[in-house]
A and B are shown apart, each in its own frame.
Chain A
Amino acid sequence: NAGVTQTPKFQVLKTGQSMTLQCAQDMNHNSMYWYRQDPGMGLRLIYYSASEGTTDKGEVPNGYNVSRLNKREFSLRLESAAPSQTSVYFCASWLGQSNQPQHFGDGTRLSIL
């Protein structure tokens, strides 16, 4: 059982380049999330998708776009990468019931030069 799978695991970009981070879950969860984590900090929510076909902004959405491709997949796109977006990005999924936990991927470590 793979759970939440993120690709790639590592990426180095130059300022101004674009890229898409991929996330897929195989638990039939309704909700999916993208967080970023800067060194020594907690996770901050970028965007989330409560269900297939819907997306909503989180705490730090500027500079990002998302697509909920289907129930399994939720991608995060950086259109024009900036050094301030250097971070570790985590994808998570949730069944949607408050007595159930979120499940996280292993993260994508992104460096922007």
Chain B
Amino acid sequence: DAKTTQPNSMESNEEEPVHLPCNHSTISGTDYIHWYRQLPSQGPEYVIHGLTSNVNNRMASLAIAEDRKSSTLILHRATLRDAAVYYCILNYYGQNFVFGPGTRLSVLP
């Protein structure tokens, strides 16, 4: 299974943008990049996904490098409710989603 690497933790101030990086140097052409987040005491929830082009939705934006070896999840204005563990995952037509330790985001008031 393709692997990703993320920083263990990051901090942000409330109402400031947050850029969460993810490296996936072994990505293949058919791998989708998925981002999930896990709020305290909850199951992971889907945030956004992309293949090659940058993507936007109501929760976040996903910026994908031209060579696809890295991506960045962008929260445009962090709120206290965005404090969570964020997971970057690759998925292809296989069945396994491999969750690493993720990045623990702290949002300071």
Report A's interface with B, CB cutoff 8 A: 4, 31, 33, 35, 41-45, 48, 50, 56, 58, 90, 92, 94, 98-99, 101-107
Contacts and interface: CB of A to CB of B under 8 A. Distances in A.
B21 interface: no
30 contacts: A33-B97, A41-B101, A42-B87, A42-B101, A43-B99, A44-B99, A45-B96, A48-B95, A48-B96, A50-B95, A58-B96, A90-B44, A92-B43, A92-B97, A94-B95, A98-B30, A98-B31, A98-B32, A98-B92, A98-B93, A99-B32, A99-B49, A99-B51, A101-B34, A101-B49, A102-B46, A102-B97, A104-B43, A104-B45, A107-B43
A80 to B, nearest CB: 27
Contact of A42 (B46, B95, B100): B100
Interface residues on B, range: 20 to 34
Contacts of A45: 96-98
Interface of B: 30-32, 34, 36, 41-46, 49, 51, 87, 91-93, 95-102
Nearest to B98: A45
